[in-house]
Amino acid sequence: MGAEQMADGADQGADETGPGTAGRVPADAGRGGGKKQPSAPPPVPPRPLDAIDQDILRILQTDGRASIRSVAERVHVSRANAYARINRLIDDGVIRGFSARVDHERAGQGASAYITLKIVQNSWRTVREQLEELPGAAHIALVSGDFDVLLLVHAPDNRSLRELVLTRLQSIPEVLSTRTLLVFEETDLGPGTATGPTL
């Protein structure tokens, strides 16, 4: 089952406008005065990022604690300009937030695993909501291939990990099967961030 098949909630009906439908009376005729229901506005396309925006993103990905003044100096714009650009990147959803890189073993989560799941068709949104509630869930992805979902979890120890898989995951009705891949060692290649930029 591929990702495209699983994205539930898509409209699958089509207007009947083909041969043999001429003269057919709409089912709601006479009940709403023929008024069109207001449709949701189309999504706003993302604004293009210029070279300065890209440089700001690289700086903040490397050091999320960089001050506005420092960012402005490094990209050669005024502090007000840098502040406005960062706020726009946040408002547009380009910057989704600031977080700390954590050494999970030192934080008491010494057992990590990637777990693959096969799930019932068209149940992705329901399953995702339940996976988000799992303790230690770090990353959830809907994927194509031999399984449907890839889940990364961190747990205090193997016993807690086993409990999470055998009790919590397998009790979700839409989960058909799971496979657990223990992580023996990992290297985080992502740039580190800790807090948002300061004035």
Q: What is the pLDDT of residues 92-149, one digit of tens each?
A: 999 988 877 777 788 888 899 999 999 999 999 999 999 999 999 999 999 999 999 9
- Position 108 scores a pLDDT of 83
Question: Which residue reads 């041969």 in tokens?
Answer: 19
- Position 101 scores a pLDDT of 77
Q: Are strands 149-155 and 137-142 parallel, antiparallel or unpaired?
A: antiparallel
Q: What is the rounded distance in angstroms from the CA atom of residue 141 to the CA atom of residue 152?
A: 9
User: How confident is residue 10, by pLDDT bands cut at 50, 70 and 90?
Assistant: very low
Query: Once rounded to an integer, what is the mean pLDDT over residues 26-53?
Result: 65
pTM, whole model, 2 decimals? 0.60
13 compared with 160, residue with greater pLDDT: 160
Residue 22 has pLDDT above 50, yes or no: no
Q: Are strands 111-119 and 137-142 parallel, antiparallel or unpaired?
A: unpaired
- Give the SS3 label for residue 174: coil
- Position 153 scores a pLDDT of 95
147 compared with 193, residue with greater pLDDT: 147
Question: Which residue reads 């089952």 in tokens?
Answer: 1
> Using an 8 Å Cβ cutoff, are 59 and 75 in contact?
yes
Q: What is the rounded distance in angstroms from the CA atom of residue 107 to the CA atom of residue 99?
A: 15
Two tokens, residue 130: 């339940």
